Structure formats: structure tokens, C-alpha cells
Amino acid sequence: MSNKTFTMIKPDAVGNNYIGPILAKINEAGFRIVAMKYTKLSAELAGQFYAVHRERPFYKDLVSYMSSGPIVAAILEKDNAVEDFRKLIGATDPAKAAPGTIRNLFAKSIEANAVHGSDSDENAAIEGNFFFSGTERF
């Protein structure tokens, strides 16, 4: 069981001014922010980040959407971080996300679904390292 996960606040949520409310939910749920960056992905970097989905029908649109505006990337710390964060954000499709989850509250669509959350300890480490070098993390 790992104590870290990786998240992004996606372009729709940044554009809707939801950075503050989403970070508040994350803190209220007991996560500590241990690295954070406001940035924008090029299409090339978004494509690399989501390379695991490159054969899926939604990949091209996803890459263009994820590079369409600024994002906030962060590493979060808490016991059982990966699983607890996935519960906090809710289902991929906001129409199916449980009431009170971040996607239920802030997402626009299955694509523009407000936040990313790592799905395993292994991917949390890979994704965190994609945005943050060892010296930036603490």
C-alpha cells in the first residue's frame, strides 16, 4: 500500500475557475500536496502521458483536449492514496460519478472530467516522475 498518488486538474476545471474548490476538496479529504505545478501540455506531451490509451477511439480527442489549456499537476500524500483518491474523484463519466465526488461536482463530460487520478501505485510513480524531478519532490 502506497501513500502517494498523482493528479491533474484538467483544462475544463482550470478554465471554469475550479482550481480552488477542487484543491479544498482534496485537502478536506485528508490529502497533503507534496508537489504542485501550473503548466500546459503540448500535444506531444499529452500524447506521451496517455500513450497507454493510444489504441482507444477517444485517444486523439483526449490528446487535443488535454493540450487545449493550462492544467495543474500535483503529487498527493495520504495513507492508501491511490484507492482513496479514486473514490474521491468518482467514475470516469460524471453522469455516473457518485454524489459529492469531484467529478460529480465539477466535471462537464466523460472527456472533460475535471481531474485525473492514478490507477495504481506503479502508475502514480511513473506519472509523478513525468512532471516532477526528484529534487522538486519532498
Give me the active site residues, please: 116
Q: Which residues bind ligand UDP (CB under 6 A)?
A: 53, 58, 62, 92, 110-111, 113, 116, 119
Q: CB-hemisphere CA count at 13 Å for 5? A: 25
Residue 77, binding choice from Mg ion, ligand UDP, none, Cβ under 5 to 8 Å by partner class: none
Give the neighbor-by-neighbor strand order of the sheet with 4-9. 32-39, 71-77, 4-9, 115-117
- The CA distance from 12 to 77, in Å, is 24
Q: Distances in Å between the alpha carbon of 107 and those of 12, 112, 123? A: 8, 6, 23
**Judged by CB, which is closer to ligand UDP: 84, or 111?**
111
The piece of 25-33, 60-68, 112-120, 124-132 that touches Mg ion (CB under 5 A) is 112-120
**Judged by CB, which is closer to Mg ion: 28, or 55?**
55
Binding region for Mg ion (CB under 5 A): 119
